Amino acid sequence: MMPASKEWWTERRIVALSSLVATWLFFIEYLPPLRRVHFIWDIDGFHYPLLNYAFRSLKAGRFPEWDSAIYCGVGFAGNIQAGLFYPFNWLLFAVNWPRGGLSFMSIQILVALHFWLAFLFTYLWLRDRGLRSLAAICGGASFAFSGFLLNEAQHLGATCGIVWIPLALWGIDQASRSGSWRPLWKVVAAAALCFLAGFPFIWVALCLCALIYALMLRGRRWLAPATVAALALSLAVSMVQVLPAAEAASMKNHRGSFGAGLPALRQYSTLFMPNYFDSARNVPPGIDEPYLYLGVAVLFAAGWLLWRRGLRAAAPALVLAAGCHLIMLDPFGAVAAALHRLPPLDQMVREWNLLACLPLAAALLVGVALDDFLSRPAGAARPFLALVALACACAWTLRQLLVWLAGGHAFLSGWASLAETAVALVSLSLVLFSLRAETRPRWRAALAAILLLLVWTDLKVYGTNRRFDAALGSIDRIYRADARTGGRGWTGMDLLDYQRILAAPTFRVVENDNTTLKDVRHYGVATPQGSDPMLPERYVKELEGSVNFDSDRTFRLDPANPSVFERLGVRYVMSIRGGPHYQALLSSPRFRLLEPSKAFDAVFEFLEAKPAYRWPAGKVQVTRWIPERREFVLDSAAGGDFVLIEQFYPGWRAFLDGRPAPIRPYSHAFQQVSAPAGPHRLHFEYRARGLRLGAFISLVSCLGLLAAIKLSVTRSVPG
């Protein structure tokens, strides 16, 4: 086998380094040195607290198997959206290790790096198909910086998972051409990393895209079954997450995720009119306004293949997009019926995330169309045409960047935005036609450069610093003195109140003004509330009739019903000063406003509070209280039942004087252990079921995968 040529390596290194710079510039307003805006929605409100909880647990010297912060405790290792076993998250932890808390900027850098990987894998896949460099680069940009990926930047697990789909398709392509199963190691690795990234909806999308793609490639009847086998093997590599997730899934409140159908027709308008819904950052968001823009290069590619009647060339991209949409449409309800019989898969398939097939198909379409266009013979070169094309493209690019710098308010919206798309398409077409006909090296280089700049600008100005993915300021600067970044306090709360809460770890806090209360993971405190898919079914039953549910995951505790505060171990209630809940607490004799009372969040103490354990039979002393372990010294004359107000998961075990003690359910959701008369030591410990076995299986599988990679690399010839 011949080694890769020097030119092969040189080109790929140049593309890799230059695309890294281009990605940094694409997100420059989010990253150092500017730091003008930050990613918003779930990435800072849901994923950031999860990652910070894991990081702070590791810093404290314990592996985070149990999440004591929300819902009176839920499994953490089994919470797949935590991404606890995703290798890049551990790199994130390593970079932040000298800090007291996880930097949000480091998460934003991680996001940007994944956009770069999305481009790089797509470029390598298309280049390996034999497409021209320029076509592969434009195809990579159409995928990596597409509207769907930017719209999903708020979901960290989705962003980290999507990037691995082109790697899987690359491996399938190589296996088809070589007639060997060895390149399918890329499918195994891509699917495993996608699963571990923590967004199972995207893992399902990867599996479907890989299978559809394998079925499209002709002459390889073994390829589709081999791809299925590779996807199955990826679960063995991911077993460290699969088995704990199975325990968590068995406990969670069932909520089907499939059945919404296709997005509304008007939502697809952003595929070619990126600002159809005005996305300027200070415009209030509307309802169901996605951003799905594929870029002007995709519009040219579609038009060119239609003009050339290139259905055969476009077929792989069209089948990929149509196949996923057919599943989303679900004719006759066949998909929903099948999923209903396949738990927990019925909670892992969601129509919206199957739209990941669109930018993937668009990348393939752009690569194939531009390669075909540039390979066609051109007429005689017209020097003035190149000059006109450069002038038009530069003028339009400058205009777009200036409008974007001013906040994007001058971009047209609604159907009027079609005019901007038309101008961009004309500019790109002029550049491409000039490039194809041009023979002068310097002019060709200039035209290629402005082409890439035009494609890059077209995707950037509509997709970054917009209301669907950005808010002003830097999280790390806003919370520089906050406990989340290693400081002492809780922003918005008096420091003394926060210290009082920390000094009572066996009690919980609630806040009716913000029922999600996801931020508690930053601060080392616990709440019976939360907003997480891992809400246990038994806990819902426990709360029925006692709390007011605002959604399927969030609820409020009524101060007029003090028994629920006592039952859930609540001692402190946070309330926004002057709000309706504040007045109700202030007027209740069962609650006392803590002083000093000057901060935005007032803290009330429930005067009849009981800790998150009960031992009415005698005396009890808490000797250790950490999430995975609770230790007590008991003493009583007659013995009785010791109650722990903590979710009863299968992974909990109890030991009385060092000997196993059976745990029985207390009420619906909690746990209790019988203890005889006299002094005793009782401790509860949690070990996620299957975690250690899963880790062993993953380790063995990874060693096998590394061997397959070595075998494949030594026998393959790069394209």
The predicted structure's pLDDT at residue 131: 96
Note whether 535 and 682 are same-domain residues. Answer: no
Task: Report d(CA 542, CA 328) in Å as an integer.
Answer: 36
**Which residue from 410, 431, 430 is spatially nearest to 419, judged by alpha carbons?**
410
Instruction: Out of 347, 377, 407, pick the residue that ends a domain.
Output: 377
Note whether 81 and 212 are same-domain residues. Answer: yes
Task: Report d(CA 222, CA 181) in Å as an integer.
Answer: 9
In a domain? residue 72: no
Instruction: Give the number of domains in the chain.
Output: 3
In a domain? residue 481: no
The predicted structure's pLDDT at residue 344: 85
Note whether 234 and 199 are same-domain residues. Answer: yes
In a domain? residue 12: yes
Note whether 331 and 195 are same-domain residues. Answer: yes
3-state SS class at 37: strand
Strand residues in 484-611 grouped as ranges (E): 508-511, 548-549, 555-556, 570-576, 591-593, 601-606
For the chain, give the number of residues. 719
Instruction: Out of 377, 408, 440, pick the residue that ends a domain.
Output: 377
In a domain? residue 162: yes
In a domain? residue 70: no
Check: CB of residue 397 under 8 Å from CB of residue 453. yes
**Which residue from 609, 548, 600 is spatially nearest to 576, judged by alpha carbons?**
600
In a domain? residue 718: no
The predicted structure's pLDDT at residue 716: 56
Strand residues in 577-617 grouped as ranges (E): 591-593, 601-606, 613-614
**Which residue from 192, 195, 197, 202 is spatially nearest to 83, judged by alpha carbons?**
197
Instruction: Out of 606, 635, 655, pick the residue that ends a domain.
Output: 606
Residue ranges in the chain whose pLDDT is less than 70: 1-4, 380-381, 715-719
Note whether 660 and 588 are same-domain residues. Answer: no
The predicted structure's pLDDT at residue 585: 94
Note whether 591 and 631 are same-domain residues. Answer: no
CATH of the domain at 640: 2.60.40
Torsion angles phi and psi, residue 68, rounded to 5: -85, 0
Note whether 135 and 238 are same-domain residues. Answer: yes
* Domain interval for residue 233: 6-34+77-377
Note whether 371 and 517 are same-domain residues. Answer: no
The predicted structure's pLDDT at residue 377: 87
Note whether 14 and 124 are same-domain residues. Answer: yes
3-state SS class at 573: strand
The predicted structure's pLDDT at residue 384: 86
Note whether 198 and 292 are same-domain residues. Answer: yes
